[in-house]
Chain A
Amino acid sequence: MSLKTSRRSVLGKIGATLVGLMAAPVARTAKAAVQKVLVTTGAAKGYDPTKHKWVMAIDANRCIGCGLCAEACKKENHVPEGPYFRTWIERYVITRPAPGSGAPRGETLVDCPEGGMHGFPPPSVPKDQIQHSFFVPKLCNLCHRSPCTQVCPVGATFDAPDGAVLIDPKYCIGCGFCIQACPYGCRFLNPITKTAEKCTLCYHRITRGLKPACVEVCPTQARVFGDLKNPAPDDPIKQFYQNNLVQALKPHLGTEPRLFYAGIDKEVR
Chain B
Amino acid sequence: MRRLFNMPPQVLRLFLLAVGIVAVYSIARYILTPPSFRQYGWYRGEALTELQERDRVFAGKSACEECHSDEVQKLAKHEHKTLACEGCHGPGQAHCNDPKKENIDKSSFAACLRCHEANPSRPKWHKQIVVKEHYTGSKCTECHVPHSPTEVP
A160 to B50, CA, bound (A): 13
A200 to B52, CA, bound (A): 10
A207 to B50, CA, bound (A): 12
Distance in angstroms from B69 CB to nearest chain A CB is: 18
| A27 interface contact, C-beta 8 A | yes
When distances are taken between beta carbons in the complex, the residues of chain A under 8 Å from B32 are 34, 38
Q: Which of B12-20, B120-128, B136-144 contacts A (4 or more CB under 8 A)?
A: B120-128
Interface 1/0 per residue, B37-71 and A, CB below 8 Å: 10011111011111111111110110000000000
Distance in angstroms from B80 CB to nearest chain A CB is: 8
When distances are taken between beta carbons in the complex, the residues of chain B under 8 Å from A135 are 121-122
A44 to B105, CA, bound (A): 35
Given A61-B123, A203-B51: A216 in contact with B84 (beta carbons within 8 A): yes
When distances are taken between beta carbons in the complex, the residues of chain A under 8 Å from B86 are 72, 216-217
A210 to B93, CA, bound (A): 13
Partner of A213, one of B34, B48, B57, B122: B57
| A119 interface contact, C-beta 8 A | yes
Interface residue tally for chain B (C-beta within 8 Å): 45
What's the dominant secondary structure at chain B's contact region? loop
When distances are taken between beta carbons in the complex, the residues of chain B under 8 Å from A213 are 56-58
Interface 1/0 per residue, B107-151 and A, CB below 8 Å: 000000011010111110010000000000000000000000000
Partner of A66, one of B36, B37, B114: B114
- Number of CB contacts from chain A to chain B under 8 A: 150
| B83 interface contact, C-beta 8 A | yes
| A122 interface contact, C-beta 8 A | yes
Distance in angstroms from B107 CB to nearest chain A CB is: 12
Contact B83 A219 (CB under 8 A): yes
What's the dominant secondary structure at chain A's contact region? loop
Contact B48 A134 (CB under 8 A): no
| A190 interface contact, C-beta 8 A | no
A93 to B123, CA, bound (A): 13
| B101 interface contact, C-beta 8 A | no
A68 to B107, CA, bound (A): 13
Interface 1/0 per residue, B59-98 and A, CB below 8 Å: 0110000000000000000001011101100010000000
Not counting A75-B57, A119-B114, a sample of 5 additional A-B residue pairs whose C-beta atoms are within 8 angstroms of each other reads A66-B115, A72-B58, A171-B44, A204-B51, A218-B87
Interface residues of B (CB under 8 A from A): 2, 27, 30-32, 34-37, 40-44, 46-58, 60-61, 80, 82-84, 86-87, 91, 114-115, 117, 119-123, 126
